Amino acid sequence: MTTKLKRQRFANVWDALEDDSATAASMTMRSDILIVLQQRIVTWKLTQAEAARRLQITQPRLNDLLRGRIAKFSLDALVDLAERADIQVRLRIDKAA
């Protein structure tokens, strides 16, 4: 006996993983900012201690950021870090489909 699974398509991984669209949207924004922050920090070519000072956070907190531990960062915290890294964050609002 073979069970056929229905194929689903999602706009991004968070839509597939999260139960509600609001949480998926928040996680999408958080991951987008986190990735850009990681990329910016690498370009600085600083030690973790120096990068942490530049972002005004502790070195363990920077390590969490660089390792992608997204659950440890709120959207607000990531926006603040982006500002300190000279990254401009903008929110685009679209009408729901």
59-84 pLDDT, tens digit each: 999 999 999 999 999 999 999 999 99
**b/e per residue 51-75 (b: at least 16 CB within 10 A):** bbeebebeeebbebbeeeeeeebee
Q: Which domain holds residue 34?
A: 20-84
Task: Classify residue 38: in a domain, yes or no.
Answer: yes
Task: Classify residue 91: in a domain, yes or no.
Answer: no
Look up the CATH number of the domain holding residue 46. Answer: 1.10.260.40
Task: Classify residue 13: in a domain, yes or no.
Answer: no
Specify the number of domains making up the chain: 1
Q: Which two tokens stand for residue 25?
A: 């949207």
Mean pLDDT, all residues of the chain = 88
Task: Classify residue 42: in a domain, yes or no.
Answer: yes
Task: Classify residue 69: in a domain, yes or no.
Answer: yes
Task: Classify residue 9: in a domain, yes or no.
Answer: no
How far, CA to CA in Å, does 52 sit from each of 35, 64, 77? 16, 11, 14
